[in-house]
Amino acid sequence: MTLDPQLLETKELYGILSTAVAPRPIAFASTVDGAGRVNLSPFSYFNVFSSVPPILVFSPIRRGRDGSAKDTLNNINEIAEVTISVVNFDMVEQTSLASTEYETGVNEFDKAGFTEEASEVVRPPRVKESPVSFECTVDQVIALGDGGGAGNLVVARVVRIHLDEGMLDEDGNLDTVKLDLVARMGGSYYCRATPDNLFEIPKPLRNLGMGVDQLPHHIRNSNILTGNNLGRLGNLEKLPGGDLLKSVGEREEVQQALREGDAALHRLARRYLEQDNSLEALAVLLQGR
């Protein structure tokens, strides 16, 4: 199904983009206006975009109904500074409340029940309850359009990082599990990063995987192996050597699977893969044909 975005209603286009580009991290952004009045609002059109220099970008969108700008954008145009705090599960309902469109000048720290913590370098305070906050100066704001639904890239340079030390692991690094971050999905959905839905894939950058294209056809075209199985096999640097092929071939379970046929062999290989034993899994598969 193919769509031309120019032919879609704003609401429909927004729905597709916000549902398909997800999970999105949340910037809980605090700004001040020229009179020093504090604003706090969450944005999920947000990410990190550079390490050196350290740059975060988020986008306050012009309102769909009248194209007007949000307080956050107006404030940044007056005072080019922002604090960005990350949002974890314990903060999420209050964060959602802070997205309420209160009148200009209302302090959402009070409305949402958060605590202002003074910044070191910039004027806006940060959210004391957040596990990680960034003080940022705004390098530039790039308008992506001027009507309703138009984004504005706020290019924010990190000048201070505040970490809750309780979120560090024993090596002193930020701990993904302890952070318990939440992200925005389409509609009113959020996603929580818990041990149940976190998983690891060994980074392929250290070796040069031979690629799925180097696997024999009967493996690539297996009805039993999944794309994820093939990806893991293609990440191996090369086919297993003769010694491993021989020793794996002599195993009783492999002999048994060989007698039953290719399907049994592929199921056995999948079991090896689930045990993170990719090289032996490939050695099992290569017994077949």
Which of positions 108-167 make contact with a second copy (CB under 8 A)?
110-113, 120, 129, 131-132, 142, 144-145, 147-151, 153, 155, 158-165
- Rule CB under 8 A: is residue 253 a binding residue for a second copy? no
Q: How far is the CB of 148 from a second copy (least distance, A)?
A: 7
Q: Which of residues 36-95 bind a second copy (CB under 8 A)?
A: 44-57, 59, 61, 64, 86, 89-95
Write out the H or E segment, with its range, that includes residue 161: strand 152-163
- State how far the Cα of 135 lies from the Cα of 118, in Å rounded to an integer: 10
Q: What is the rounded end-to-end Cα distance, in angstroms, of the chain? A: 39
Alpha-carbon gap, residue 145 to 10, rounded angstroms: 14
How many residues can be counted in the chain? Answer: 289
- Of 278, 289, 263, the C-alpha closest to 230 is 278
Among residues 170 and 200, whose Cβ is nearest to a second copy?
A: 200
User: Are 169 and 177 spatial neighbours (Cβ–Cβ below 8 Å)?
Assistant: no
Of 8-47, which residues contact a second copy (CB under 8 A)? 10, 13-25, 44-47
Total residues contacting a second copy (rule CB under 8 A)? 118
Question: What residues from 192 to 221 belong to the interface with a second copy (CB under 8 A)?
Answer: 192-194, 196-205, 208-209, 211-213, 220
Shortest distance (Å) from residue 269 CB to a second copy: 15
Q: Which residue has the tokens 């504090």?
A: 38
